[in-house]
Amino acid sequence: MQEQKFNQENNWIENLWEWADDNNIPSLVLPRNKSRLLDLKILELGFSHASQVVGSDYTTEATRIFSVPKEIGYLSELEVLRIHSCENDVELPLEIMNLNKLKVFSIRNISMKESIEKIGNFKNLETCTLDNVNIQQLPKQLFTLTRLTGLYISNIPLKKVPIEIGNLVNLDDLHFRYTGISSLPKEILTLKVLDLLYLDNNQFTSIPSEVFELKTLEHLSFNHNQIEEIPSKVKNLSKVRYLDLNSNKLKTLPHEIQSLTDLESISIKHNKLISESEVLKKLLNIKSISDSETTIKF
């Protein structure tokens, strides 16, 4: 019985190594040494990156991933898992959803149609990226992960932000891009430490009133929407340092924007603005303005 267990353990390891060889995954990314493999804490597949190993830099070229083996789910010490695939028909195995030590989970261009409901298993997760994962809505289990500080959602046709977003009270970085949303639920106001909010490439025609009640915001981005005006309540965003409103339908800027004394950078390219440089130059700490096709630096 003990010998059979030993053979089973080595079989999955050998299967994983065979897959890595077939996909040109270097040993610096997926170790071919058993003890190092079983102790592996970071695994990044399917994209270019540079990492440091024993004091030396190394770089791997982007690798197209045509399959994701279930054996990755047996790497029980993993804390960081990033898999970016170029093939949309790649399915994420259910076994991966048992990696309960994960702190960082980033999946791009891989189907999670079957596995997404198990995301609640990642009780220790701190940052989560879901980009083009072949789902139509976010599962309620995602919003039980109360240790999350960063949530990055892209290319999922949500239309609406789930009200359960309010459960993630430790979020300081929130992105919804290419999701088709045009409003925010009032529950977002429970995010008392939210620092960065990116809502790019959506269907907003105005800045939701809830945004002006998020007193901790320092980075705010609504680029590539259909916003026509900035209300006077913008003055409430007293801590905002970076504001991106590129590619909207703005015609004017309110004078209240001068109240943003911490603002360092504002981007307003590709709007329908009449020159607003005099208004913007009255911003006390502004360092750069991206206006039309130029950047004004102070």
The CATH number of 41-252 is which of 3.40.50.1240, 3.40.50.720, 3.40.710.10, 3.80.10.10? 3.80.10.10
Question: By CB neighbour count within 10 A (0-12 exposed, 13-18 middle, 19+ buried), where does 88 fall?
Answer: exposed
Q: Residue ranges per domain, the chain?
A: 41-252
Helix (H, G, I), strand (E, B) or coil at 110: coil
Q: What is the CA radius of gyration of the chain?
A: 23
> Which amino acid is it at 289?
I
Lowest mean pLDDT among 30-34, 167-171, 222-226, 255-259: 255-259
Predicted local distance difference test score (pLDDT) of residue 298: 37
Predicted local distance difference test score (pLDDT) of residue 49: 45
| pLDDT range class, residue 168, cuts 50, 70, 90 | very high
The stretch 131-143 carries a mean pLDDT of 96
* Residue among 18, 131, 12, 24 nearest 82 (CA): 131
Predicted local distance difference test score (pLDDT) of residue 55: 35
pTM here is: 0.88
194: pLDDT strictly greater than 80: yes
| pLDDT range class, residue 52, cuts 50, 70, 90 | very low
Q: Report the share of the chain in percent with pLDDT over 90.
A: 74
Lowest mean pLDDT among 117-126, 127-136, 249-258, 286-295: 286-295
87: pLDDT strictly greater than 80: no
Helix (H, G, I), strand (E, B) or coil at 219: strand
